[in-house]
Amino acid sequence: MTAPAFTLIFLLFVALSFAFGSLLTLRHIAHVRTHRAAVPAEFSESITLEAHQKAADYTIAKNRLGLVESVFDLVFLLAITLGGGMLLIHNLAATWFSGSYALGLAIFAGLMIVSFLISTPFDLYRTFVIEQKFGFNKLTWKLYLIDGIKGLALGAAIGVPLLLVTFWLMEKMGGLWWLYVWLVWLVFSLTIIVIYPTFIAPLFNKFLPLADIALKERIETLLTRCGFTSSGLFVMDGSKRSSHGNAYFTGLGKTKRIVFFDTLIERLSPSEIEAVLAHELGHFKRKHVTKMIIGQFALTFVILALMGWVIDKPWFYEGAGFSLNGTVPHVAISLALFFMVLPVFTFWLTPLGSLISRKHEFEADTYAAQQTQAHDLITALVKLYRDNASTLTPDPLHSAVYDSHPPAAIRIAHLKAMQT
């Protein structure tokens, strides 16, 4: 492989992934707009035309913003790589920091600052314009700023030690450095999963024990029936940031928690809440979380092994816009450049990930229908589609590539077939 050849391959994949992604977004917008005028027949008795059109407009607004954001992301990627941005950041950092580890951290800090400056305007517009317009945003500017400061502090507290260990392993462990990094990242990821419920999540939200005694007894009966143990049932104050509703499991082993958004508790009946929880239990019983974690670790193993192969190849750096001039690049450059370039190639795995996720959702729905009434899950989902302004008419190709959940009509039809 030569540097010019890699540059051409990189540009080809950049062009193809951007063009295909943009085409999918434009198709999705057009499809949703075309079906905006009428509620799909299967939802005509449960979703009003006003709610359907709100979901269509919300979907179109989000995707239009996403399309603009993808253009800026493309420019950023090309500027950082072939435009010499990575080299500029390295040279600026090198004028201030001479130590290897300090220089590495400075390089990553520079990349994060540039990325922050590009992404923040879109995040602000998404939160305070789109979410506000459609009645979902509950964030104040003060809370937004506090969340940002907490996130930055938490990211530094967790990320800096992990980066330093990674740099050290890359410098000291020879040709198999990537294997040691993978093992460290594996332990780190599992540790975060374990400590997240009790140490990280409470930094941003309040978690109170479920106070509704009747609902708690109902849920505990379901948990016993399904053979699931948890460290508690909690209600999260999601309403202080958004009116969207959800429920989820978090943690591993004895740290497993069941968390309901307060908005979900307010909108669904006890039987519907039980059905939604049964769906989440289905993911547990079918070992979807375990499979997902193993799959992610396996993919990370392959990715790091690939990086271990290209890290000493001059054509990779020169082809991605970082001029070596006979020098050995800092390991931070290797790490950052590789993970900047990688998504251009892994984008094409997105449909496979979405397919696996939708398969898991169907399996979880089937389990829920076996443990509770399918009708209760159907009515709960319809309420969630309505209250979260989820479009009922996604473009089929866009959905096949991106959606982790089956389209509403297909999912509801699957549940209706299991009604007793």
How would you write the pLDDT of the chain (420 residues) with one tens digit per residue?
Answer: 898 999 999 999 999 999 999 999 999 999 999 999 999 998 998 999 999 999 999 999 999 999 999 999 999 999 999 999 999 999 999 888 877 899 999 999 999 999 999 999 999 999 999 999 999 998 899 999 999 999 999 999 999 999 999 999 999 998 899 999 999 999 999 999 888 888 888 888 888 888 888 888 898 898 888 888 777 788 888 888 887 777 777 777 666 778 888 888 888 899 999 999 999 899 988 999 889 999 999 999 999 999 999 998 999 999 998 887 767 788 999 999 999 999 999 999 999 999 999 999 999 999 999 999 999 999 999 999 999 999 999 999 999 999 999 999 999 999 999 876
Please tell me the chain's helix, strand, coil percentages from 3-state DSSP, rounded to the nearest 5. 75, 5, 20
Tell me whether residue 363 is one of the annotated catalytic residues: no
Q: Are 366 and 36 in contact (CB under 8 A)?
A: no
Dist. CA 43–CA 24, nearest whole Å:
25
In DSSP terms, 195 is beta-bridged to none
| Distance in Å from the first CA to the final CA of the chain | 61
> Rounded to two decimals, what is the model's pTM?
0.91
* Neighbouring-strand partners of residue 209: 234
Query: Does 205 reside within a domain?
Result: no
Q: Give the whole-number percent of the chain exceeding pLDDT 90.
A: 72
User: Structurally, how many domains does the chain consist of?
Assistant: 1
- Candidates 272, 361, 365, 387; catalytic one: 365
- Cβ-Cβ contacts under 8 Å for 163 (sequence gap 6 or more): 104, 105, 108, 332
CB 241 within 8 A of CB 139: yes
Please tell me the predicted confidence (pLDDT) of residue 259: 86
In this prediction, residue 212 carries a pLDDT of 85
Tokens of 102: 């300090």
Residue 214 covered by a domain: no
d(CA 314, CA 326): 9
Residue 378 resides in a domain: yes
Structural domain includes residue 330: yes
Sheet hosting strand 247-250, strand order edge to edge:
207-209, 233-236, 257-261, 247-250
Contact assessment for residue 164 and residue 272, using Cβ atoms and an 8 Å cutoff: no
Domain encompassing residue 350: 1-137+310-420
Q: Are 258 and 232 in contact (CB under 8 A)?
A: yes
Residue 285 belongs to a domain: no
- Residue 301, domain member (yes or no): no
Output the CA torsion 145→148→153→157 (10° steps). Answer: 170
The residue from 280, 361, 376, 387 that is catalytic is 280
pLDDT given for residue 241 in this prediction? 84
What is the SS3 assignment for 258?
strand
Q: Is residue 248 part of a domain?
A: no
pLDDT value of position 255: 65
State how far the Cα of 92 lies from the Cα of 103, in Å rounded to an integer. 10
Give the separation between CA 388 and CA 405, rounded to whole angstroms: 14
Inside any domain, residue 157: no
Q: Are 275 and 152 in contact (CB under 8 A)?
A: no
H helix or E strand, kind and range, residue 318: helix 314-319
Query: Is 350:402 a contact under the CB 8 Å cutoff?
Result: yes
365 included as an active-site residue: yes
